[in-house]
Amino acid sequence: MHVRSFAASLLALPLLAGCATTSFNSKWKAPDAEPVQLHGQAIAAVVMTKDPANRRPAEDALAAEISKRGAVGVPAYTIVPDDQIKDLEATKRLLAQQNVVGVVFMRVVGRDQQTTYVPGQWTSGPYYGSFSNYWGYGWGAVYDPGYLQTDTVVSVETLIYSFRQDKLLWAAMSETINPSKAESLVKELAGRVAGELEKDKLLVKP
């Protein structure tokens, strides 16, 4: 499996419009990874969590995002049974039997509460020149006091491997603020990953 063959399979990760809650803290790309279009190849979607009830819908969501760009996204749970998920050799054998050429991993590595102070608002304007102008304006624009806002920040590690080469091609650490559920987090992050891969010139749009 050539490095560039799997790189382009991540065209499967679409850029979602309007995603504003996810940011990347760090990224890495293999120096020899080159963009190429790849369609119809099997890409395994792996969301690492101990609870199968959470993992299955999350892997379904990731696989669906992969398939949107022409590759064949396959949830890992449909290939590797739960009782064999930690057996490396069994996993490799089962993935090979399904002709998997690459794997996308997502793993939550942190969940924190972040409290920030949102300051109040005060603005000046043309109404300050006279008592008469200010009187009406002032009563209609009373100072808006600030407040404390608490957000949930979820940190996720995303890794992209060439399965046949057993080689890491791209890696990133990201933070998403206030995700509603696992599936929505995966969909948003997949889209943002695609955007970063395009910026890194690892992917080209078909």
- The string of pLDDT tens digits covering residues 48-73 is 988 888 899 999 999 988 888 778 99
- Regarding whether 142 and 110 lie in a shared domain, the answer is no
Instruction: Tell me whether residue 74 is exposed, middle or buried, using C-beta atoms within 10 angstroms of its C-beta: 0 to 12, 13 to 18, 19 or more.
Output: buried
CATH number, domain with residue 48: 3.40.50
Tell me whether residue 92 is in a domain.
yes
- Regarding whether 126 and 30 lie in a shared domain, the answer is no
Query: pLDDT, tens digit, for every residue of 145-201?
Result: 677 878 888 899 999 998 988 989 999 999 988 887 788 888 888 888 877 877 887
Q: Three-state SS across 107-150?
A: EEEEEEEEEEEECCECCCCHHHHCHHHHHHHHHHCCCECCEEEE
Tell me whether residue 205 is in a domain.
no
Residue 179's domain spans which residues? 3-116+154-199
- Regarding whether 187 and 110 lie in a shared domain, the answer is yes
Tell me whether residue 206 is in a domain.
no
- pTM across the whole model: 0.72
How confident is residue 84, by pLDDT bands cut at 50, 70 and 90? Answer: very high
Query: What does the alpha-carbon distance between residue 133 and residue 128 come to, in Å, rounded to a whole number?
Result: 7
- pLDDT of 122: 60
Query: pLDDT, tens digit, for every residue of 32-42?
Result: 887 655 678 89
- Regarding whether 140 and 77 lie in a shared domain, the answer is no
C-alpha to C-alpha distances, 201 to 11, 23, 41, 167, 196, nearest whole angstrom: 12, 19, 21, 18, 9
- pLDDT of 19: 40
Percent of the chain with pLDDT over 70: 79
Average pLDDT, the chain: 79
- Regarding whether 168 and 131 lie in a shared domain, the answer is no
